[in-house]
Structure 1
Amino acid sequence: MADKSSLYGLIGRKLGHSWSREIHERLGSSPYELWELEPEEVASFICKGTWKGINVTIPYKKNAAELADEQSARVMQLGVANTLIRQSDGSIFAENTDVTGFGWMLEHFFKTRFDLSARDALDSKEVLVLGTGGAAQAVSCALSGVGARVYFISRHGEDTYATLLERHSHASLIVNTTPVGMYPNCPDSPLDATVLSEMNDLLGVLDVVYNPIRTGLILQAERLNIPAESGLCMLVAQAVHASELFQGRQLDESMIETIVHDLKTQTQNISLIGMPGSGKTTAGRRLARLLGRPFVDLDDACAVAAGMPVADYITAHGEQVFRKLETEILADYGKRSGLVIACGGGVVTQPHNYELLRQNSFVVMLDRPLEELSLQGRPVSQAKGIEQLAHERMDLYRSWSDTILTCTGSPDGDANALMTLISS
């Protein structure tokens, strides 16, 4: 366990997904540690620890509220706290900065996507909150504050996932507050893939989960062109307000967008797709070296798993058997953070790979002239021909990518061009 003498930190049961340390170091509330606690450890840690300020996440927000000596009005209303401050007399004060964090996210979403205030967008409108835990209570508080009519969707009761379409098909917003889809169980979604497609009045989808960047729910919305955003904005915004309480000073709210941008840049994978022979591996390896990131070539990873070169495996077992293996390898690496990934040319031929790739990646298509692509050592290219492969895949490459890079003619040139794209 981390050093319990640290001034600040986060308590929860599983914290492998957390980016709170990086955020609080930027805000000045450091040293900041992550403390994974079992339920029987929580009371002693909170009441007897030497910490100055702590954040609290799943599943201990109710414990935090109950163990505090003093509660804010918001905590008394909700019964859950995500921020504890040890006051000068040694007593513990409980606050819930999730409410202000989600409120900031909500306003930012409607301002940037619709040029509307949250109240103008949601006053008297139905909003569905998936889940009933501590995060759901904070989200509901913020939504009620802008006039929304909030309905909690859970596994039991009147409003369930099974009756969602029957009872609330005209809802204006969906907010996921459950941990479904959180790393490493991604890209899972709390909703069946068909639900969003039948909600014609839906303005947007929000998810308080922030790792991966695009949760399964966000990816479902993305495919339907429904505006959507995962919880990184909320995470940073609530951290800013918590840090103000920790440090006893006001912070500049403009830091929120800056930190969100920087975290995305630092943690998102950079995944390269494109035709076989377009230079994904050579450019990706050089890019990884420039960025100081680990490099993963999916074909090499598949070869290790198969125990033979990919070309030999395809020849021996057929392309479809290889595609299944490729998907398994992508499922592992696609959920990780901070990698440069070179994908095989056929990764886009399997629809499920879309979610696996895009959940935590900035995806770049490398576009090289067909006449420059080599067939050597590429059994699928040899069997079908470059022109046929291009006919089958080009539209998929374009629709799966965030941007397209026209190859420069050299791996170093492509890597430098990629650096420019990423930093812009």
Structure 2
Amino acid sequence: MGAAEKGLGDAPYGLVGRRLGHSWSAQIHERLGSAPYRLVELEPDELAPFVRQGSWRGLNVTIPYKREAARLADVRSAAVERLGAANTLVRAEDGSIVAENTDVLGFAWMLSRFCRERIGASPRELLEGEKVIVLGSGGASQAVVDALSNTVGAESVVISRSGTETYDTLVERHADAVLLVNTTPVGMFPECPASPVPEGDLAALGGLRGVLDVVYNPTRTGLVLAAERLGLPAESGLAMLVAQALYASELFQGRDLDDSLVTEVERQIAGQAENVVLIGMPGAGKTSCGRELARLLGRPLVDLDDALKIEFGRSPAQIIEQDGEASFRTLETEVVRRYGARSGLVIACGGGVVTRPENHDLLRQNGRIVLLDRPLDELSSDGRPMSRARGVERLAAERMGLYRAWADVTLRCTGSAAGDAAAVRELLGL
């Protein structure tokens, strides 16, 4: 098979890049009407033949081919001419290739909603003439800076490792910035929930009114989680991803689409991607509820205690009894890190997962946390060394405050696993 035919088959639309990994583009475009849609990984020498000779009607282009896509086009939009990069190619009726950069439009859409709904001001009211910190200097950064300049008249300061403005002087020189936008891949799956800026530096940026991250996987990046802890409105990049796809889909299909589709599709994708994380006291029914919930939702169930036993060859009880609780908690966090970074799971946690603060971000980055609250007199200590050693009442005194602080929602247990699962599904709108 030649490069021109590689990957798309009979699909008229697709995404091209070198390493696509986990992408939601196909699911998004299916909901927008630009389908069938395929993901195509190409080596550098395959891009030009594919673009120039392929039978496609519309393409999205991602790293590292956006500049080459602009060069290969016959017609370039004003945004593409300014930036020298294209993320969308459309084949016109006469066979010519038209290049557009819908990343600019997608970020402008996300920025507008964020300012109005999370901060209570229009983007221009908030940002015109104000300083915005943009982390990173690559293609996404150029699109963000272009949108900030041409849409709201903001003054963008680009921070990079080797540019004229660096992370070393971020706090010293730019504490008056109103908004911070991350366009680097730091914190992207699977290296999550890392953050490009330490939480202390973020706190020192005293003028900030909000934080945006163009990374969309995980659902809440390390930067977003840090901003939330500081009380700052923050959002990851799923809305930008969907919005830029909507504008690309309009070009693919040659028709206007309702902007309300962005929020609708974003909600659908987030619901599909977010894990449901069950926490609670030992014996609260997390595993049995999780099993029923996984069946209802058609998702895999990961019981972290079972996953730990499979990985390390001993049950939690055996590890605690033989090596002590501290050794077990270290191994538990390794397993939490692995599964918390994945998407679309039901995760049943061990009762003591909340005793390690670092587990919170690992679980919340891609999940909504549900506390199963069962009366203490209904909890069994059979096979649970911590419950036997300390007693249920003492464990509850140590942990219930943590459970409640971690939980996005709390469910008073219904008395049956099936009833709990149905109630969790309703609470989360799944």
Q: TM-score range by the shorter chain?
A: over 0.9
Structure 2 counterpart of 1:227: 233
Aligned to 2:164: 158
CA distance in 2, matches of 1:266, 1:193: 29
The equivalent of 2:33 in structure 1 is: 28
Alignment map for 1:83-98 (pairs within 5 Å): 83-98=88-103
Equivalent pair of 2:119/2:209 in contact (CA under 8 Å): no
Q: Is the 8 A contact 1:12 1:36 kept in 2?
A: yes
Residue of structure 1 in register with 2:147 after alignment:
142
Cross-structure match for 1:374: 380
3-state DSSP of counterpart to 2:335: helix
Question: Is 1:299 equivalent to 2:305 in the alignment?
Answer: yes
SS of structure 1 residue aligned to 2:306: helix
Please state how far the C-alpha of 1:5 moved relative to its aligned partner. 4.1
CA distance, structure 2, for counterparts of residue 179 and residue 102 of structure 1: 16
Q: Given residue 107 of structure 1, which amino acid in structure 2 is its aligned partner?
A: S
Is residue 237 of structure 1 aligned with residue 238 of structure 2? no
Report the alpha carbon displacement of residue 363 of structure 1 after superposing the two structures with TM. Answer: 1.0
TM-score, normalization: structure 1?
A: 0.98
Q: Distance in 1 between matches of 2:120 and 2:231?
A: 18
Moved over 6 A (4+): none
Q: Identity percentage over the alignment?
A: 60
Superposed CA offset, 1:27-59 (max 9, x none): 111110011122222222212221111001111
Contact 1:52 1:85 in 2 (8 A): yes
Give the whole-Å Cα distance in 2 for the aligned partners of 1:59 and 1:78.
15
- The yes-or-no answer on 1:346 pairing with 2:369 is no
Matches within 5 A, 1:91-106: 91-106=96-111
Q: CA deviation at 1:421?
A: 0.8
In the alignment, structure 1 residue 117 sits paired with structure 2 residue 117? no
2:65 is matched with which residue: 57, 60, 85?
60
Q: TM-score, normalised by structure 2?
A: 0.96
Give the 3-state SS of the residue equivalent to 2:321 in structure 1: helix
Aligned-pair CA distance for 1:319: 0.8
Match of 1:130 in 2: 135
- Distance in 2 (CA, whole Å) between partners of 1:177 and 1:126 is 16
Partner in structure 2 of residue 316 of structure 1: 322
Whole-angstrom distance in 2 between the partners of 1:364 and 1:300: 19
Other-structure match for 2:291 = 285
Q: Which amino acid aligns with 1:39?
A: P
Partners of 1:35 and 1:398 lie apart in 2 by: 45
The residue identity in structure 2 corresponding to 1:123 is E
Q: Distance in 1 between matches of 2:118 and 2:413?
A: 32
Q: Tell me if 1:73 matches 2:75.
A: no
Instruction: Indicate which of 17, 22, 39 corresponds to 1:12.
Output: 17
Superposition CA RMSD, Å: 1.2
Over 3 Å counting, the alpha-carbon distance change for 1:4 and 1:132 in structure 2 is farther
- 1:261 paired to 2:267: yes
Count of paired positions: 424
Quick one: which amino acid aligns to residue 24 of structure 1?
Answer: H
Output one character per residue of 1:332-366: Cα deviation in whole Å (capped at 9) or x when no partner: 11111111000011111111111110110011111
Tell me the distance in 1 between the aligned counterparts of 2:229 and 2:392: 28
Residue type matched to 2:171 in 1? L
Point out where structure 2 has 5 or more consecutive residues left out of the alignment: 1-5
Structure-1 residue corresponding to 2:53: 48
Q: 1 CA distance for matches of 2:100 and 2:364?
A: 35
Q: Which residue of 1 aligns with 2:406?
A: 400
Q: Deviations over 1:280-299 (max 9, x none)?
A: 11101001011111111000
User: Aligned equivalents of 2:22 and 2:224: distance in 1?
Assistant: 18
**Following the alignment from structure 1 to structure 2, what is the Cα–Cα distance between the partners of residues 85 and 14?**
22
Cα distance in 1 for partners of 2:269, 2:24 equals: 9
Q: Secondary structure of the residue that 1:338 maps to in structure 2?
A: coil
Aligned to 1:252: 258
Amino acid at match of 1:305: E
Partners of 2:242 and 2:298 lie apart in 1 by 25
In 2: Cα distance, 1:116 partner to 1:370 partner: 47
Which amino acid counterpart does residue 214 of structure 1 have in structure 2? R
- Residue 3 of structure 1 and its aligned partner are, at CA, apart by 3.2
Which one is further off, 33-42 or 358-367? 33-42
Is this contact kept in 2: 1:4–1:51, CA < 8 A? no
Q: Aligned partners of 1:239, 1:171: CA distance in 2, in Å? A: 29
